[in-house]
Amino acid sequence: MDAAEFRRRGKEMVDHVADYLEKIEERPVYPDVEPGYLRSLIPTEAPVEPDSYEDIMKDVERVIMPGAASPACTELETVMLDWLGKMLQLPECFLAGTHGHGGGVIQGTASEATLVSLLAARCKAIRRVQLLDPKKSEAEILSKLVAYTSEQAHSSVERAALIGAVMMKKVPTDSLYAVRGEMLKKILEEDKAAGLIPFYFCATLGTTPSCAFDHIADLGPLCNQENMWMHIDAAYAGSAFICPEFRPLLNGVEYADSFNFNPHKWMLINFDCSAMWVKKRTDIIGAFKMEPLYLKHENQESGLVTDYRHWQIPLGRRFRSLKMWFVFRMYGLQGLQAHIRKQVGLAKEFESLVRADKRFEICAPVVMGLVCFRLKGTNELNQSLLKKITKSREIHLVPCQLSGSFVLRLAICSRSTEFRHIQQAWQHITQLAFELLQEHHH
């Protein structure tokens, strides 16, 4: 949708909202639909090619309005997460379908998804240990539980353990900043020998510092064998798995208990929208369920409806699946794949520019839209370069630390980034580097 069409459609939408409010008294107070009404009204998969905007707006009246607000809000979310799960080729067990035990939910951020998975795992582990040894108190078990994640994992993972009041240990990574099965196995053996209870591993696909990929196909069987919950945090990289050429990086997801990524990061859906799937919805519900009278409803024991309030930290919910529905249909699967491929292509172009300049080095494999690079030389030199870049206010780079090196990161993320921006950014960086190196020589 270009700016001209946005102006037209946006103004139609303003009228649509005003009409709705002006005629609200003509609308029914209560929806007159049965649980599960929505699924049969829309296709079972996202379109491959774009739908027209007119068709989407017609469906708002046909599909959403009869079930406004809560049933439609809940049911569209379940079906959209199935659509998205199919785009990613997630194993069937993660989909809700009409009879599945798994399913998806929209969280606000990956931090919340990680926390929810850790809390579900904590609850499950405590119950399992108490079943074997009923005399053990909850407090005693809690003090022995250990969660694990990569030393390269996002800080929110450690924070989830802090909130959940459980120990968390960092697993070392290989030369490409990824966790391998044997590294986790070694720590598990030591910890079990010390009487601790490993219960949770958070794998990362696409780490924040360098977009590294933990070896989940090795880690998954290990976690299953050890009765540990494996959560996969693919916050950034997850969007790329809709492209067949990137999907192999997700192999091993079949061993996971939960999987999460942020369509708001790289799938053209506005913040916030973090998609999370679980294999067994009873695991996650069991950790939080509270049923006061004012939240009871007719269908809650029927198994036909999803009470998402048990799947998340907040109680209230926004209608976030609408924006998924619009984006999936406006772009179609092919349009979204083209977006990912274009941005990876731009990152590769930038990588070539860096590699062609002998003063610079690439610091980690460029797999997706992130390029980690630095001036050959000291950390101080690179810190000075970043300071110059930041001070000139032309581009925005966020640094990281890799194997003790201070590294610059160029991330392609805006929908409107083109090759000329990449060229401009590189020209700008090399100009500042030139000035910096001149200063150093004098």
* Contact characters 304-323, a copy of itself, x per CB under 8 A: ---------xxxx-x-----
Residue 68 has phi, psi (to 5 degrees) of -70, 145
CB nearer to a copy of itself: pick between 67 and 164: 164
CB nearer to a copy of itself: pick between 4 and 193: 4
Collapsing DSSP to helix, strand or coil, 302 comes out as: coil
Where residue 407 falls (left for φ over 0; alpha for ψ -120 to 50; beta otherwise) is beta
Q: How far apart are CA 122 and CA 166, in angstroms?
A: 8
Where residue 373 falls (left for φ over 0; alpha for ψ -120 to 50; beta otherwise) is beta
How many residues bind a copy of itself (CB under 8 A)? The answer is: 69
Which H/E stretch holds residue 322? Answer: helix 321-355
Contact 95, 86 (CB under 8 A): yes
* Contact characters 262-281, a copy of itself, x per CB under 8 A: --x------xx---------
User: Which of these segments, 49-57, 71-79, 151-159, 339-347, binds a copy of itself (CB under 8 A)?
Assistant: 151-159
Per-residue buried b or exposed e for 276-289, using 16+ beta carbons within 10 Å of the residue's own CB: bbbbbbebbbebee
> Does residue 163 touch a copy of itself according to CB under 8 A?
yes
Residue 159, number of CB atoms within 10 A of its CB:
14
The CA radius of gyration of the chain, in Å to the nearest whole number, is 24
In the complex, what is the shortest distance from the CB of residue 267 to a copy of itself, in angstroms, rounded to a whole number?
15
> Does residue 419 touch a copy of itself according to CB under 8 A?
no
In the complex, what is the shortest distance from the CB of residue 353 to a copy of itself, in angstroms, rounded to a whole number?
19
In the complex, what is the shortest distance from the CB of residue 127 to a copy of itself, in angstroms, rounded to a whole number?
13
In the complex, what is the shortest distance from the CB of residue 376 to a copy of itself, in angstroms, rounded to a whole number?
20
* Contact characters 13-52, a copy of itself, x per CB under 8 A: xxx-xx--xx-x---xxx-x--------------------
Site residues (CB under 8 A) for a copy of itself, limited to 119-148: 119, 122, 137-140, 142-143
User: Which of these segments, 11-19, 190-198, 223-231, 353-361, binds a copy of itself (CB under 8 A)?
Assistant: 11-19
CB nearer to a copy of itself: pick between 102 and 399: 399
The secondary structure of the chain in percent helix, strand, coil, rounded to multiples of 5, reads 50, 15, 35
CB nearer to a copy of itself: pick between 352 and 390: 390
Identify the residue among 67, 209, 263, 369 touching a copy of itself (CB under 8 A).
209
Q: How far apart are CA 433 and CA 282, in angstroms?
A: 55
> Does residue 154 touch a copy of itself according to CB under 8 A?
yes
User: CA nearest 274: which of 102, 81, 90, 109?
Assistant: 109
Site residues (CB under 8 A) for a copy of itself, limited to 164-183: 164-165
CB nearer to a copy of itself: pick between 318 and 355: 318
| ∠ Cα 89 154 165 (to 5°) | 105
CB nearer to a copy of itself: pick between 46 and 432: 432
> Does residue 248 touch a copy of itself according to CB under 8 A?
no
Q: How far apart are CA 153 and CA 209, in angstroms?
A: 9
Collapsing DSSP to helix, strand or coil, 399 comes out as: coil
Indicate the burial class of 312 (C-beta count within 10 angstroms; 0-12, 13-18, 19 or more): buried
Binding footprint of a copy of itself on the chain (CB under 8 A): 3, 6-7, 10-11, 13-15, 17-18, 21-22, 24, 28-30, 32, 108-112, 115, 119, 122, 137-140, 142-143, 154-156, 158-159, 162-165, 208-209, 264, 271-272, 287-288, 290-295, 313-316, 318, 390, 393-396, 398-401, 409, 416
